[in-house]
Structure 1
Amino acid sequence: MEGYSEYSSAMNSLGLNLGMNVSKSSSGVNYNATSTSVPTPSDSNSLPPSSPESPPPKIYKPCFVCQDKSSGYHYGVSSCEGCKGFFRRSIQKNMQYTCHRDKKCIINKVTRNRCQYCRLQKFFDVGMSKECVRNDRNKKKKLKHEVSESYEMTTELEDLVDIVVRAQKETFPPETPKPGYRVAADPAPGVGSSSETDPLLFEYVTDMSSRAIIMVVEFAKKVPGFLQLKTQDQITLLKAACLEIMILRISYRFNRDDGSVTFTSGLTLTNSQLKSGGFGTLLDTIGPFSKQVFSLKLDEREVALLSTICLISGDRSGLEEPERIEKMQEPYLEALRIYVRRRRPTEPHTFAKILMKITDLRSISVKGAERVLHLKLKIPCEMPQIINEMVEEDDEGAGPSEESGKHTAASDIQEVNVKTENMSASNQCTAGIDVMKAALFS
């Protein structure tokens, strides 16, 4: 025991209390364990400092609609994910719900899916905003649209546009000569209805129309790639698109106030003179179309590209290489789309409206061809050959033949081009007519 007492004293001197009482008994030594002491608050200063506590999690109010756990503020109100999604879908899809009771259903976490009508009404009662849903959707659409759209043309595309715009200016100047001139003659007595034609005015109209056809042919020859097409396809495209481009150009020069038209030469014919000169009721169709074109506010680049798209069209009947022509048309469509969107960034539908004018042009062109055929049968005056060739249907199976001994269209074009280069300006009109004949004959 003396050894143990010495050991215990040594432990106590080190600050360690074994917590045991030792007593003698008849059987030997008894060891009674006592409870270990617990540090009191006064001892807390001696403990190492604890780490700083993290901030408590942010707590939202319960869902104002169904009292479920809120995930945050959505559309102006604290709500759960389920109610947020239901409200968004209901507004975006403009859903209409019906209550099968008295429109006073209790909406909570358990019953919220039983009555959609009362659930939606409760959204409005607690203050959820429709406009927040619409603005959120429009913002996402706008962002996606801006990312997907590109209004930049490649250098090759810009060069292509510059060429067709230059061709347009050379064959259809934006400004007519100043001062212009008019025809003093009024329609002949008895000529007032669309069925009557004044011979003198008819001569003016056919002369202007012949010049216009020549200019369309010259425009086509300047379009990149057109002369590299097969000769028969050149003829088919020209005959199909010539009237359409002429009508587009007339509409661009149409005076919406009095219905007169000023031609490239500077000649202005009044509405009544045009009708008596051969246009007849066709002018009643061109007038409204001109107003539609004016409302689109087309500039010279858009008119040039639209004319090119009319000309280079792979859906014309009788083409030998329609796929090649469709591929040739694609860059012009892309250039028009980019230019229109870049010029009118807040009018996303204008490009489609401009393309729809092609359908109108084709419809008016058919009426124009019918009008020419009608005049050929009704008037005593002879129709200029260049106009006849433009509206006549191709003979079935027509084409160059070695047995016929005739020149091919390609050789005629080459021959006339050589002649044209050596002719004076006073003879350009006649040369142009020869070019049109060569282009249309097969």
Structure 2
Amino acid sequence: MESMAASTSLPDPAGEFDRNVPRICGVCGDRATGFHFNAMTCEGCKGFFRRSMKRKAMFTCPFNGDCKITKDNRRHCQACRLKRCVDIGMMKEFILTDEEVQRKREMILKRKEEEALKESLKPKLSEEQQKVIDILLEAHRKTYDPTYSDFSKFRPPVRSKHGSKTATHSSSVVSQDFSLEDSNDVFSCDAFGAFPEPMEPQMFSNLDLSEENDESPSMNIELSHLPMLPHLADLVSYSIQKVIGFAKMIPGFRDLTAEDQIALLKSSAIEVIMLRSNQSFTMEDMSWTCGSNDFKYKVSDVTQAGHSMDLLEPLVKFQVGLKKLNLHEEEHVLLMAICILSPDRPGVQDTSLVESIQDRLSDTLQTYIRCRHPGPSSRLLYAKMIQKLADLRSLNEEYSKQYRCLSLQPEHSMQLTPLVLEVFGNEIS
């Protein structure tokens, strides 16, 4: 302890010391431990200089006064050793008094106590919270394939600069396997496991058409030529099924009634799809790449599916903003789960139970950000993520209007899959 407290260690006067270069004591050539009293020395010479200065020792060389001090003989001649200490720049002014040593010890102890307290107060993910994150990560990876390798039952994309009724018609009859029965099964007992049989459509198909006629004329889309509609309708159906699979694995979701599960999924499916699609979104050319260039979608492709530029501009802006948050995968899956478990969704009955599940997810997200996402950018990250959910609500509403507008056009309603019609509020006859 005396040796530690007896000196002040100074930084390398010449700059940062190269850690790869061996440190040599300037007095005896032994391995140095740092700068002590203004010179690079070993612990032995540091202690020798301090003791000599405090005792005001007067040494005499028994030889010629020019002894060569080494690691092995440094104890043989104290006079030449002390002279060597002074010659390399060691200064008695750097030696602490007993009072200063005591204050230094107290400061070191206080600093250690403060660091220990700070560490104890630092938020940590509980075992339960970590388990929730692990479950959500597994659920996401099981239900989201960035290569879209299992996206097989689809009508192929037909891209046309001017649109073509012939192209639309030909693409609509490809892959008849994607039938009404297959799509409708997603909301059946097979999809939800414990749901009662039979599943009545009116439980989740309540379409209000009171304002449809007023909204239709305002849609800035050319409804007569939509060659990409069949393909993107199939892609949306595929994505909805994946969202349902993800939701079923969210801790607490299966504790809800069948009616509330359906209400939550109908309202949030398109929003979760938008969140997931951010992983395939590229800011370089503002496009979505799903597995290969065959499934590379630009804004122009989406307009050929009936979506107006007035809607696509805020969608692209949303994708860019979300991408810039640089979310961890853990934060991404928690955000999707929070999006689904929203108690204010239309048709939800047990709002208190949904809210309690969402609160647990929100607490986990906030704790994760504090623990695992350090840096200035994390200070407002949670608030920015919640704002993204608010932005999604607006996008969801506008997209639903456009899909309902398409469903009112006989030539296009037949291109939409039953599952798309279900999610966007249309009844299946």
For normalisation by structure 1, the TM-score amounts to: 0.51
Judging changes above 3 Å, is the alpha-carbon distance between structure 1 residues 208 and 176 closer, same or farther for their aligned structure 2 residues?
closer
CA contact (8 A) 1:174 1:300 kept: no
What do residues 319-348 of structure 1 show as CA deviations (whole Å, max 9, x unaligned)? 221111111112211111122222332231
Q: 1:216 aligns with which of 243, 247, 250?
A: 243
Query: How many angstroms apart in 2 are the aligned matches of 1:241 and 1:148?
Result: 39
Q: Is contact 2:123-2:371 (8 Å) kept?
A: yes
CA distance in 2, matches of 1:357, 1:149: 30
CA distance in 1, matches of 2:348, 2:158: 45
Which of these residues, 280, 288, 294, is aligned with residue 317 of structure 2? Answer: 288
Is the 8 Å Cα contact of residues 280 and 289 (structure 2) preserved in structure 1? yes
Q: Secondary structure at the residue paired with 1:319?
A: coil
Partner Cα distance (1:288, 1:328) in 2: 30
1: distance between equivalents of 2:268 and 2:253? 13
Query: 1:379/1:292 Cα in 2 relative to 1: closer, same or farther (>3 Å)?
Result: farther
Task: Answer with 1 or 2: which has the greater Rg.
Answer: 1
> For the Cα contact (< 8 Å) 1:256–1:287, is it kept in 2?
no
Please state whether the residue corresponding to 2:221 is helix, strand or coil: coil
Matched, 1:196 2:196: no
Q: Secondary structure at the match of 2:386?
A: helix
- Note the C-alpha offset of 1:175: 5.4
Structure 2 CA distance for aligned equivalents of residues 388 and 248 of structure 1:
21
The residue correspondences of 1:7-406 to structure 2 (distance < 5 A) are 150-174=122-146, 183=157, 185-189=159-163, 195-197=221-223, 198-263=225-290, 267-281=295-309, 282-347=311-376, 348-378=379-409, 380-381=411-412, 382=414, 383-392=416-425
CA distance in 2, matches of 1:184, 1:207: 13
Q: Secondary structure at the match of 2:342?
A: coil
Percent of counterpart pairs with the same letter? 27
Q: Deviations over 1:180-200 (max 9, x none)?
A: 9x9573333489x95125443
Q: Name which of structure 1's ranges 201-210 and 315-324 shifts more when overlaid on structure 2.
A: 315-324
Once the 2 structures are TM-superposed, how far is the Cα of residue 177 of structure 1 from its aligned partner?
5.5
Q: 1:146 to 1:358 in 2, by over 3 A?
A: farther
1:261–1:270 CA contact under 8 A, matched in 2 = yes
Distance 2:315 2:410 in 1: 22
The answer for the alignment partner of 1:96 in structure 2 is none
Please state how far the C-alpha of 1:241 moved relative to its aligned partner. 0.9
Contact 1:150 1:338 survives alignment (8 Å): no
Deviation at 1:390, TM superposition (A): 0.5
Separation in 2 of the partners of 1:213 and 1:264?
A: 18
Greater mean deviation of Cα atoms: 377-386 or 155-164: 377-386
Query: What is the distance in 1 between the residues matched to 2:392 and 2:361?
Result: 18
- Deviation track 1:127-151 (CA, whole Å, cap 9, x = no partner) reads xxxxxxxxxxxxxxx99x9689633
Kept in 1: contact 2:221–2:307 (CA 8 A): no
Whether the 8 Å CA contact 2:125–2:371 is kept in 1: the answer is no
* Unaligned 5+ runs, structure 2: 1-113, 166-218
Higher RCO, 1 vs 2 (CA within 8 Å, ≥6 residues apart): 2
For 1:148 and 1:314, how far apart are their aligned partners in 2? 35
Please state whether the residue corresponding to 2:296 is helix, strand or coil: strand
Q: Residues 190, 196 of structure 1: CA spacing in aligned structure 2 closer, same or farther, 3 A cutoff?
A: farther
| Change in CA separation of 1:369 and 1:171 when aligned onto 2, cut-off 3 Å | same
**How many residues are treated as equivalent by the alignment?**
251
1:256-301 alpha-carbon deviations (Å, 9 max, x no partner) = 2223222368722222112112333222121000111011011221
Output one character per residue of 1:85-137: Cα deviation in whole Å (capped at 9) or x when no partner.
xxxxxxxxxxxxxxxxxxxxxxxxxxxxxxxxxxxxxxxxxxxxxxxxxxxxx
Indicate if the aligned counterparts of 1:251 and 1:287 stay in contact, CA closer than 8 A. no
Residues 362-397 of structure 1 show CA distances to partners (whole Å, capped at 9, x for unaligned) of 111111111101111246131211111111179xxx
Tell me: CA distance 1:393–1:203, structure 2 relative to 1, closer, same or farther (3 Å). Answer: closer
* Aligned CA distance change for structure 1 residues 326 and 264 (closer, same or farther; 3 Å): farther
Equivalent residue number for residue 108 of structure 2: none
SS at match of 1:278: coil
> How far 1:174 moved relative to its partner?
4.7
* Amino acid in structure 2 at the alignment position of 1:287: V
Question: In structure 2, what residue type is equivalent to 1:185?
Answer: R
CA distance in 2, matches of 1:246, 1:189: 26
| 1:383-438 alpha-carbon deviations (Å, 9 max, x no partner) | 211111111179xxxxxxxxxxxxxxxxxxxxxxxxxxxxxxxxxxxxxxxxxx9x
Paired letter, 2:308: G
Q: Deviations over 1:20-43 (max 9, x none)?
A: xxxxxxxxxxxxxxxxxxxxxxxx
